[in-house]
């Protein structure tokens, strides 16, 4: 239960959400040998957005 005075959480993709998705993709690459095409994370609100990766190959 939240109190009426609790601040509203902002909506949208923050730098932290993007960094978490990138980290998940990197871990999947390290453990599985291939980059996933999409990564799903769980936000503090309980939502689970999917992020499409821009680059799915090792590089600079």
- Nearest Cα neighbor of 21 from 55, 33, 9 is 55
Overall pTM > 0.75 = no
15-44 pLDDT tens trace: 899 999 999 999 999 998 888 999 999 988
Phi, psi angle pair for 43, to nearest 5°: -85, 165
Write down the pLDDT at residue 19. Answer: 94
- Integer CA distances (angstroms), 54 to 1, 2, 28, 41, in order: 38, 37, 15, 16
Which comes out higher in pLDDT, residue 14 or 22?
22
Nearest-10 Cα torsion for 16, 21, 25, 27: 50
What residue ranges in the chain does DSSP mark as E strands?
38-40, 50-52
């Amino acid at each position: 239960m939240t109190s009426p005075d609790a601040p509203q959480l902002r909506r949208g993709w923050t730098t932290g959400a993007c960094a978490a998705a990138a980290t998940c993709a990197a871990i999947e690459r390290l453990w599985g040998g291939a980059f996933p095409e999409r990564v799903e994370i769980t936000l503090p609100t309980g939502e689970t957005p999917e992020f499409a990766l821009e680059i799915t190959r090792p590089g600079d």
